[in-house]
Amino acid sequence: MRTTTKALMVLLTLSTAACTRPDRFGDEADGSGVSAGPVAAAPAPLSGANDPASPEFFAQTIGDRVLFAVDSSTLTDAGKATLDGQATWLSTNSDYLAIIEGHADEQGTREYNLALGARRANAVREYLVSKGVPSTRMRTISYGKERPIELCADEACYSKNRRAVTIISSGGLS
């Protein structure tokens, strides 16, 4: 109950601040003054990626992404292991919300890849729900092939682009 209240307070606080969504949503410059962690928390002894409660820790140490085979949205064993860690982290750090992005490599048509990305994001959400993360804390989005992170034209890059990335957000889900 207390946790819920705190989460709501964080939400309300942040709703008046600048957008905290990942930069790919818009053109907001960095340094908008919004801290990445819960603003209500007292100064932590650890900061950034060293702080186990930080989104940076989630992204770098827990692992924010899972990869998929060509044209597949089936989670691999390695992917499930990563998601087990994500579920644990999200349960511990219940102030945070998650936006799950689904992506595809460029070997496909635009519309199909949007739909495929939606499938991948949903596969991650369903797995996290099965591990106890409330679905109300998650939202999915597909970028299709619009946002590759690796740019070469072979499997070494394509395999990293076929991904679902869990973005930790202290802001709203819409």
DSSP H helices, 44-145, are 55-57, 77-92, 110-130
The correct pick among 47, 92, 109, 130 for binding other proteins (CB under 8 A) is 109
| Residue span binding other proteins (CB under 8 A) among the ranges 46-54, 56-64, 80-88, 146-154 | 146-154
Q: Is 30 in the site for other proteins (CB under 8 A)?
A: no
How many Cβ atoms are within 10 Å of 23's Cβ, its own excluded? Answer: 11
The correct pick among 7, 118, 133, 167 for binding other proteins (CB under 8 A) is 118
Provide the minimum distance between the beta carbon of 44 and other proteins in the complex, in angstroms, as a whole number: 28
Q: Is 108 in the site for other proteins (CB under 8 A)?
A: yes
Q: Is 32 in the site for other proteins (CB under 8 A)?
A: no
Q: Is 123 in the site for other proteins (CB under 8 A)?
A: yes
Q: Is 168 in the site for other proteins (CB under 8 A)?
A: no
Provide the minimum distance between the beta carbon of 46 and other proteins in the complex, in angstroms, as a whole number: 30
Q: What are phi and psi of 155, to 5 degrees?
A: -60, -30
For residues 163 and 142, the answer to whether their CB atoms sit within 8 Å is no
Report strand pairing: 97-103 vs 138-144. parallel
For residues 95 and 6, the answer to whether their CB atoms sit within 8 Å is yes
Vertex 97: Cα angle to 29 and 170 (nearest 5) = 40
Provide the minimum distance between the beta carbon of 112 and other proteins in the complex, in angstroms, as a whole number: 5
For residues 109 and 148, the answer to whether their CB atoms sit within 8 Å is no
Q: Residues interacting with other proteins, by CB under 8 A?
A: 21, 24-27, 71, 73, 106-112, 114-116, 118-123, 125-126, 139-143, 146-149, 151-153, 174
